[in-house]
Chains A and B, each alone.
Chain A
């Protein structure tokens, strides 16, 4: 049953080892097993898996950094409906320094000019990648498009469209982002090994965007005080209040993402 499958990966690290020893490393399947893993266990498992699979940490890092010889870029799409007018929704997104409040991996967007911004984004192994981006399409209340400029750590481009939803239900937001991550599907699969399913990430970002625009902030529960994060859905901390120590840890983590607060 679905429920059983959800709960089924109680000992994923052992499971992963047997898969690896089987010498048929299906990275995508591994990802599924790992997706619900808690963070500390995950990094241990990933490091071990990467070593056994012959993907050294350096290779992974290189692949994610975008220095290899890429072929197929990674394209992500997601959409949501926000109960606000297209103008309001566009305005929130257009203030690019708002983006880190709901994009979990974006540490900072520095607005350099009307069309140019500098992005700093977290990557595996506590690294970060940076680039300058320029706005290439800007139709207030309708669409926004951007593209990284020469010299980016990872070449990327994206577009968001804002369209009225039928029946006075606000705005349909459609996002498409393309990252030139080398190795195409392999690069994506490697990223997934870190519990960083890029599709899920974008989906999470959009849900948080909707929460922030509609309610003013990211919704936190006792089990998920960090808010909506796909890879931390289960298991998570028990549904009981945070200790003082946990609360200060959370505040510190959130302070590093500009704009978000507890």
Chain B
């Protein structure tokens, strides 16, 4: 089959690889009908996630048709011919983390738990196409994918919703939604969201659905801010104005009640000397992240507020504003999304028309053109917000 493989930093290609086979009795093989490039795939492309190997198949947002199931799969849950969306974390459904709906922290699905433990203290779940740190599972930017614990994760789509309406249930919609949910939003809340990429947009739309009084988008790309504005959100371009002053102005001097970091480890800064500081430290490997959005979110949040982090971090950061966090009683909440717990309720919201996931899609490309998709998404060319690949 054809698959998008990682060859090295800034190098992916589409090549012929063996077809996936059943390795565990609860595996299914899915013929991928739609898959997408995620912002977190760019961290792999850019070489910021350790333990990638040449030949690794990329992709953790995918859906398709089940073409084979192992002997241990509960066929009442999933069977050949089903149309399914596959959640990006692999969860066993049986361990204590899964029983507590902490699917992305599943205790059993990462065969490389040792590497994860060295970096994170405790291991996290296996993730499709996301380095050997998360298990070394082949990803879904391919014609076929092997899906372990197929009777636990994949969500069957039985209605007539299109691929594009449900594909993002695999990751970015639940991730954005969880970012908003962690904010425990009330009708009086002003919610500021750093990053107007697809996850940021879904966090903003979710905050609105959850009843926020006002939602503010912070980014530097005019086309991304336009997309936020189309959703009825206020916007701040950090290259044009000082973010802190703008936030104070928009909140009567209080600061946002809730702040969401939908940027993660490769943030850019409006002030070039601070941007340079983190870039140099990151390049010299004396810090693994450029945590500018997180710092600014903590410093901007009103006292007693919540800072919700859904942007991806992988290692260690410098200049964490612990003083602001501690002295002003902020609550920091975070996590790789526990996708399983959000898929069904969000599918219902899509069916009811409360959320339109298709609004972030700007590019549709055949799988062959995946390298081109990575390039325009990374460089924000051609007003690229979200690339969907069709195998």
Contact = CB atoms under 8 A, between A and B. Distances in A.
Interface string B4-31: 0100000000000111111111100000
A211 B3 CA distance: 30
How big is chain B's contact interface, by range?
Answer: 35 or more
B148 A219 contact: yes
Given A219-B148, A221-B136, A1 B315 contact: yes
B96 A240 contact: no
A4 interface: yes
Contacts of A3: 50, 119, 285, 288, 314-315
Residue of A3, A217, A225, A240 with most partner-chain B CB within 10 A: A240
B316 interface: yes
Given A200-B114, A233-B112, A221 B135 contact: yes
Interface of B: 3, 5, 17-26, 50-51, 53-57, 72, 92, 94-96, 99, 107-115, 118-119, 126, 129, 132, 135-139, 146, 148-149, 285-286, 288, 314-316
27 contacts: A1-B316, A3-B119, A7-B50, A211-B92, A211-B108, A214-B108, A215-B95, A219-B126, A220-B24, A221-B112, A222-B136, A222-B137, A223-B135, A223-B136, A224-B112, A228-B112, A234-B51, A234-B115, A236-B53, A237-B136, A238-B5, A238-B53, A238-B54, A239-B53, A241-B21, A241-B146, A242-B21
A81 interface: yes
A59 B24 CA distance: 41
B57 A240 contact: yes
A221 B126 contact: yes
B113 A228 contact: yes
Contacts of B119: 2-3, 6
Given A83-B94, A243-B18, A215 B108 contact: yes
B24 A4 contact: no
B136 A216 contact: no
B216 to A, nearest CB: 34
A169 B94 CA distance: 11
Contacts of A129: none
B25 A230 contact: no
A184 interface: no
A57 interface: no
B204 to A, nearest CB: 32
A222 B146 contact: yes
B72 A210 contact: no
A233 B132 CA distance: 8
A198 interface: no
B108 A223 contact: no
Contact of A170 (B72, B96, B286): B96
B21 A247 contact: yes
A240 B5 contact: yes
A141 interface: no
A235 B115 CA distance: 11
Nearest to B148: A219
Contacts of A240: 3, 5, 17-18, 55-57, 138
Contacts of A227: 111
A219 B285 contact: no
B20 to A, nearest CB: 4
B96 A235 contact: no
A21 interface: no
B100 to A, nearest CB: 9
Contacts of A223: 53, 56, 111-112, 132, 135-137
Interface string A1-27: 111101100000000000000000000
B136 A215 contact: no
B11 to A, nearest CB: 14
Nearest to A167: B96
A169 B99 CA distance: 9
Given A216-B72, A228-B111, 18 more contacts: A1-B315, A3-B314, A200-B114, A210-B108, A214-B94, A219-B109, A220-B111, A222-B23, A222-B57, A222-B137, A223-B112, A223-B137, A224-B135, A230-B114, A236-B112, A238-B56, A239-B139, A242-B18
B315 A234 contact: no
A121 B54 CA distance: 35
A6 B17 contact: no
Contacts of B113: 207, 228
B104 to A, nearest CB: 15
A262 interface: yes
Contacts of B315: 1-3
A1 to B, nearest CB: 5
A7 B51 contact: yes
A239 B21 contact: no
Contacts of B139: 239
B98 to A, nearest CB: 8
A150 interface: no
Contacts of B95: 83, 210, 214-215
B51 A219 contact: no
A126 interface: no
